[in-house]
Each structure stands twice: as structure tokens, then as C-alpha cells.
Structure 1
Amino acid sequence: MTGTANILYFAALREQIGRESQLAAIPPGGVTVTGLLGQLGAADPRVASAFAAEPRLRVAVNQTLGSLDRIVQPGDEVAIFPPMTGG
């Protein structure tokens, strides 16, 4: 049985994609963040375009910054945002 993860988009990604969140299917054994990003992009051209425009995406899984090889499990919350800039 496949579960879901809650995906949250922030900053420019939210504007480019046109929504702030969505649910994504997650297999029982989980999926890497890289695999999840590929899945999201394959399902929606707006997401693929937004990800392509921001090649250095940052992610947080359950409010903890993570790497692209982190495993996302059903029930997780995944926040995706562009690199932070400041001055």
C-alpha cells in the first residue's frame, strides 16, 4: 500500500508552480528526495520547469534540513525551497 507525503513549496518555487503544497505518493519503503523531485517533475510540467530554474534546491524533511539522498517515508512533510540569499 502506498502512503503520501505532504510537499510544501516556498518562495519563488511557490510562485512558479502556482500552489503552496500538494500530496505525493510514497512507496512503503520510502523514496530518496532526488527520486521524489523526479516524480514531482514528471507529473507536472510547471514543477519540472521550476526545479530546472533552481538547480540547487534545498529541502527539509519533517522540519530538518536534509540532503538529496535522504529517504522520505509515507507521512513525512517535505519542504522544498531555493537557496537562501541575504545581505
Structure 2
Amino acid sequence: MLNVLFFGRIREELDCAQLTVAPGPGCDDLDALQKHLETMHGDRWQTVLGQDNLIRAVNHAVVSVNVPLVDGDEVAFFPPVTGG
């Protein structure tokens, strides 16, 4: 299974802290997983996860490109970080 985590404002807007998703066709890479989540959960998820400045991480490493996913991976979605 893929363990999917949501943090900060993303978690609040989706009203979801984490979920698990079966890896495989339709969820075999990060972009496909994100699209699957948007499709399965509707317009609100598509709006929140479709933000251009969304931060994504796989196994505790921030990624800026699409990466393959395998069983046991942890995927996290973060809102953009701002500083003062």
C-alpha cells in the first residue's frame, strides 16, 4: 500500500490527514496518484491538489518531478512554505 499524508492547509481543506492507496496501474507514479486522488474525491480535491505551488514528497524527500511509486512508499502533500 501507499501511505498518503496531507499537511497544514492541505489537510484542513481536504479534511483528511492520511489515507492508503493500493499501488499499481493508475497509481504507479506520483502524477498518476495525484490524478487518481483528484478523480476519486471530486472537485474540491482537484482544486486543492491542483495548485501550482503544491509541495510533494516521496519517502521524506521533496520531489519537483514525477517519480515512480512502489508498494510501501510514503507520499506527502504540503502547502507552500513562506517565510518572514
Task: Please state which band the TM-score falls in when normalised by the shorter chain.
Answer: 0.7 to 0.9
Code of the aligned partner of 2:20:
L
Q: In structure 2, the residue corresponding to 1:72 is in which secondary structure?
A: coil
Give the paired residue count: 82
Instruction: Find out whether 1:26 has 2:20 as its counterpart.
Output: no
Q: Distance in 2 between matches of 1:68 and 1:57?
A: 12
Could you tell me the TM-score, scaled by structure 1's length? 0.83
Structure with the largest fraction of strand: 1
Contiguous gaps of at least 5 residues in structure 1: none
**C-alpha RMSD of the superposition:** 1.6
Give me the TM-score of the superposition, normalised by structure 2: 0.85
The percentage of counterpart residues that share the same residue type is 32
Q: Please give the secondary structure, in 1, of the residue aligned with 2:34.
A: helix
Give, as a single letter, the amino acid of the residue that structure 1 aligns with 2:13: Q
Tell me, what secondary structure is at the counterpart of 2:22?
strand
Trace 1:54-65 onto structure 2 (pairs within 5 A): 54-65=51-62
Structure 2 residue runs without a partner (length 5+) = none
